[in-house]
Chains A and B, each alone.
Chain A
Amino acid sequence: DIQMTQSPSSLSASVGDRVTITCRASQDINNDLCWYQQKPGRAPKSLIYATSSLQSGVPSKFSGSGSGTEFTLTISSLQPEDFATYYCLQYKRYPRTFGPGTRVERK
């Protein structure tokens, strides 16, 4: 199975900060990576697919980059509604595997 790791596991940030989350795969997944946002008690929300393509309706403050085994999700200017947990997912191979999540908390 492809193992996914995320760093940091949590971070504290302020409104307006630029935030970057890293996701690493245990083997080359090309660009077959998604990012999701989840708030407590809510279903996940799809943000990005194919490493860098924004889902419809997702604001451009979110961006994704990377290839192979290392990927990043960047929030250019953190807003109050962005405090949440973020997960990456590889869909190159079965079983699909998620990263353990990165919690973005208010400083």
Chain B
Amino acid sequence: EVQLVESGGGLVQSGGSLRLSCAVSGLSFSNQWMDWVRQAPGKGLEWVANIKPDGSEKNYVDSVKGRFSISRDNARDSLYLQMNSLRPEDTAVYYCSPSLNYWGQGALVTVSS
């Protein structure tokens, strides 16, 4: 069974930083593209970023470019999202997802102004 456990969410002031982690089990992590998707309260889904299995390619939505950084540790079957210069509009539940096929329960990030 595939399991995804996101952690690291919380309340932060505007301009602050957070690092999300996602622990993955039940599949071959090192062979998977990994994505982050977010959902603001009461809103739809928004793709944020993804990373190639070997970490050599990373893609981002424009609204987070230069502020967020996706990374992975294949030895630890873990995915990360470093979020800097946070804004109130980054408030959302953040989901990690291998190849957009499986989903964790998400980590809530709240950015106060």
A residues touching B (Cβ–Cβ < 8 Å)?
A: 1, 34, 36, 38, 43-46, 49, 55, 87, 89, 91, 94-101
CB pair B103–A44 under 8 Å, yes or no, is: yes
Q: How large is the interface on B (under 10, 10 to 19, 20 to 34, 35 or more residues)?
A: 10 to 19
From A46, A49, A101, contact of B44 by CB (8 A): A101
CB pair A49–B101 under 8 Å, yes or no, is: yes
CB pair A46–B105 under 8 Å, yes or no, is: no
CB pair A55–B95 under 8 Å, yes or no, is: no
Query: In the complex, A43→B4 CA distance in Å?
Result: 11
A-B residue pairs in contact (CB < 8 Å), sample of 22: A34-B100, A38-B45, A43-B95, A43-B104, A43-B106, A44-B37, A46-B100, A46-B102, A49-B101, A55-B101, A87-B44, A89-B47, A95-B47, A95-B59, A95-B60, A95-B61, A96-B50, A96-B100, A98-B44, A99-B44, A101-B44, A101-B45
From A34, A44, A94, A96, contact of B95 by CB (8 A): A44
CB pair A96–B103 under 8 Å, yes or no, is: no
B30 to chain A, nearest CB (A): 21
Interface 1/0 per residue, B41-76 and A, CB below 8 Å: 000111100100000000111100000000000000
Query: In the complex, A49→B100 CA distance in Å?
Result: 9
A99 to chain B, nearest CB (A): 8
CB pair B47–A43 under 8 Å, yes or no, is: no
Task: Please provide the 6 A-B residue pairs with the shortest distance between their CB atoms, ordered closest to farther.
Answer: A96-B47, A43-B103, A95-B61, A98-B45, A94-B59, A101-B44
Query: In the complex, A44→B62 CA distance in Å?
Result: 23
